[in-house]
Each structure stands twice: as C-alpha cells, then as structure tokens.
Amino acid sequence: MRLRDRLTVLSVLLMFALGAHAQITSSLSAVPDGWLVTPAEAREFKGEEGFNEQAALRPRAMMPQIDILKPDAVADLKVKAPFAISVLFKSQSDAPIDPGTFKVLYGSFKIDITSRITKFVKVTKDGFALENAQIPTGKHRMTMQVADEKQRVAERELRVEVE
C-alpha cells in the first residue's frame, strides 16, 4: 500500500475514533438529576456484562484497600433502588489515602461516573456514604479506585442486581 493510501486510511480511522468519543461524551453529559446510571446507559455501556464472572483479586500487601460496607456483598446482592452505598478506605501506615484520586467506573467500558457520585457526597480519606443511589433495574458493575500519596492504587468492584 502506498504512503498516501496509508495516510488516507489512518485519517478515516482517526475521524471515526473522534466521532465515537464525541458520541459517548455527549451521551454522558445529559444525565437526569439523581441518576448515577440511566437505563439507556446501562444498555449502551453494558453494565451487566461480566456480572457473573469472578472478580479479579489483587495482592493486598502494602496497598491501600477499599471495603464496601453497603450494600453487603453477601446479603444485599439484590437491592431495590434507591439503595445505600457505603465505602471505607484503608490506608497503609506509610501513606494516607488521597481522596482526590477517587474514581468510579461503570460497566465493561469503564465509563467514568465519579462526578455523579461526588455531586451528592463528599469523599474523604476515610471513604463516603451515599444514602440514595438511583440505578435502574438490572445487573450493574461499578469499579471503584482510590490511590494513596505514594500513588498505589486500590480497586474494588461493586456488583448489584437492582430489582
């Protein structure tokens, strides 16, 4: 393939990628008040995909930790919306948690919904509690991340089925 043809193909791919990014970004900007994830996003961004797979475990030595207090992973796998989410961060003795690094990523595409949660709660070095998480009926997977001041990242998945 000639150089000119390669450049044409690359420019078409780049335009497609930018257009897809713009479409995802624009669909995320129009979120009804109170929703962490809308029903349309649950379908589009595949919040259910991978729900029944075993969560990957990471070594915990010298890493910060994220503990999910609510919903209880054993007792509250099925919940009714709105429901409570309560999270506890545990730092190591050599570095405190940096709450500014907190992120929540939704579904298999890991769409960043952090601002939707931080609109309702203040995330501290100890964690956060959200009393009324509004998520549509279905299976959902949210990945929470937070780092300590040594940039060591803790990650934890919250999987719930909303009835």
Per residue in 101-126, pLDDT tens? 999 999 989 999 999 999 999 999 99
| Mean pLDDT score, 127-151 | 95
What's the pTM? 0.67
**What are the DSSP calls for 28-90, one per residue?**
HH---TTBSS-HHHHHHTTTTTTTTSPPPP---TTS-EEEEEES-TTT-SEE-SSEEEEEEEE
Per 3-state DSSP, the chain is made up of helix, strand and coil in percentages (nearest 5) of 25, 35, 40
